[in-house]
Amino acid sequence: MSQTPDPVVEPIPAAAADVFGDRLPLAEAYHHSLATDGSLRGFIGPREVPRLWERHILNCAVVGEVLEHGIRVADVGSGAGLPGIPLALARPDLEIILIEPLLKRSVYLAEVVEMLALPNVTVIRGRAEEKSVRAQLGAVDVVTSRAVAPLGKLAGWSLPLVGVGGSMIAMKGSSVTEELTRDAREIKRAGGGKAEIISVGGKLLAEPTTLIRIPRVR
């Protein structure tokens, strides 16, 4: 990876040890990569570097609270690996597939996976809606995403990747209820059922993570 100056030191939150356990050193290495190489290559804005733990790494890792043991999870539009990499670190029982269309980001993801020696993570370059990506991916149990697209469009990309009974779990902000109302027809058209809005990480983070889970029912 590129050589970069050391970032401003950000204290490791106490919650990080609770979330990552004995894999905390790997999470620290990922944090350092995001703060240096990831920032230099434009994947992380400079204003986000001092708050990577709370706003990015930990708030993604706690998504694991709603995932069953040993399932296959596809992270669409993975970018710099959020939420897929923190999930893989916090939950090594999961099989994580990072789907990213941009070459420079998919190259970075492959570098991070190699650096952290994550046998439970693979990278696919492409878009979730592409037939070649779907063929390579196969069926997964859950599709995750973070700041990728409006909910209706996201459902159209995510739900076809899971079988009936699987679900998409998207990280969303406070406007998720409005998105759900606005995009209800698109969600139904994609095979989505009744949505559930969930808050995770409330016991660990100053600001819990808001998720929307939509099952595929047809």
Domain containing residue 73: CATH number: 3.40.50.150
Residue 6 lies in a domain: no
Contact 41, 104 (CB under 8 A): yes
Contact 19, 90 (CB under 8 A): yes
Residue 2 lies in a domain: no
Q: What is the pLDDT of residues 2-60, one digit of tens each?
A: 454 455 567 899 999 999 999 999 999 999 999 999 999 999 999 999 999 999 999 99
Q: What is the pLDDT of residues 132-163, one digit of tens each?
A: 999 999 989 999 999 899 999 999 999 999 99
Specify the pTM. Answer: 0.93
Q: What angle in degrees, to the nearest 10, is found between the helix axes of 24-33 and 103-116?
A: 150
Question: Which structural domain range is residue 31 located in?
Answer: 14-215
Total domains, the chain: 1
In angstroms, what CA-CA distances link 129 with 126, 154, 157, 158, 174? 9, 10, 5, 8, 27
Residue 5 lies in a domain: no
| Statement: residue 92 has pLDDT above 50 | yes
Residue 94 lies in a domain: yes
Mean residue pLDDT of the chain comes to 94
Q: What pLDDT was estimated at residue 5?
A: 47
Residue 87 lies in a domain: yes
